[in-house]
Amino acid sequence: MRPVLAEADTRESLYLPDGRNIEYEIRFSTRARSARLRVGARDGLVVVVPAGLRREKVQQIVSSKAEWVAARLAEFDSVRHLIAQPVAARPEAFDLPALAESWRVEYREMRQTSVGAKTNQPGRIVVFGAVEDSEACQAALRRWLARRATESLPPWLMRVSVECGPEPSDISIKNQRTRWGSCASSGRISLNCKLLFLPRELVRYVMVHELAHLLEPNHSSRFWDHVRQMDRGADTHHGQMRDAWKLVPAWAQRAAGLEL
């Protein structure tokens, strides 16, 4: 049977690398010579394509741009987050639900130009140095967060791997803006240190999502079958991940990459 040509504007869905599923609008134009993707705060993702282009071809084009779409959406999400939750100049305390931990932050001014952060005792972090510099304090706390994630997330992922079957070739911790996790063709899984701000069941869902990519490198129906086999609440967790960035405090959102 020949493919049906889409003749009217329509809506489709796209799975993003972070596991979200978003809807987008396809607009057919007699003046368009090629596909154009645009992301806006009001309309979200809109795809303008030449009239008569097959719908499955449009889906292929959009799927190939999933990372770009995720990056653009993250920019809007980041702005909305910062408007909804003002940046604390120097956070005094924060929770890490993934680890069931609560941390208080103490600031100690010292005669040095740099700023560092260390665990002083269970539940307390000391930020020391030129602590009048709020941005430097936030950066020091982000470095501390990355270290805490490096201590806790890889062993956790390996435990989930033992439960589910697939085993990564390597594990790395990053501080990405647009992804909760990723899986390379080499079998290396990367996890975002900001996962520590999420509930445990959502952290495990992200781990399962990346482990499933070891079995199926795309987001096909077989991939989602693997995810559901590893996590019975996968569909619910998938929906909850849509707003998970709101759980991350603004000071931890600042970094575009891992600071070491």
Contact 181, 191 (CB under 8 A): yes
List pLDDT tens digits, range 211-220.
999 999 888 8
Please determine, looking at this structure, whether the domain spanning 93-253 carries the CATH number 3.30.2010.10: yes
| pTM, to two decimals | 0.67
Q: How many CB atoms lie under 10 A from the CB of residue 124?
A: 13
Residue with tokens 């079957």: 165
User: E strands of 30-169, at which residues?
Assistant: 36-40, 44-50, 93-96, 101-109, 115-121, 124-129
pLDDT at 89 over 80: no
With bands split at pLDDT 50, 70 and 90, how would you rate the model's confidence at 72? confident
Task: Name, of 59-63, 168-172, 244-248, the range with top average pLDDT.
Answer: 168-172
Mean pLDDT of the 161-181 span: 89
Model pLDDT for residues 93-109, shown as the tens digit of each residue? 999 999 999 999 999 99
Task: Give CA angle at 151 (16, 99), nearest 5°.
Answer: 70
Domain boundaries, the chain: 10-84, 93-253
The share of the chain scoring above pLDDT 70, in percent, equals 87
- For residues 80-100, b (16+ Cβ closer than 10 Å) or e, as one string? ebeeeeeeeebbeebebebbe
Question: Tens digits of per-residue pLDDT, 17-53?
Answer: 877 778 888 888 888 888 888 876 556 788 888 888 8
Question: Chain-wide mean pLDDT for the chain?
Answer: 85
Per-residue pLDDT averaged across 116-128, rounded? 93
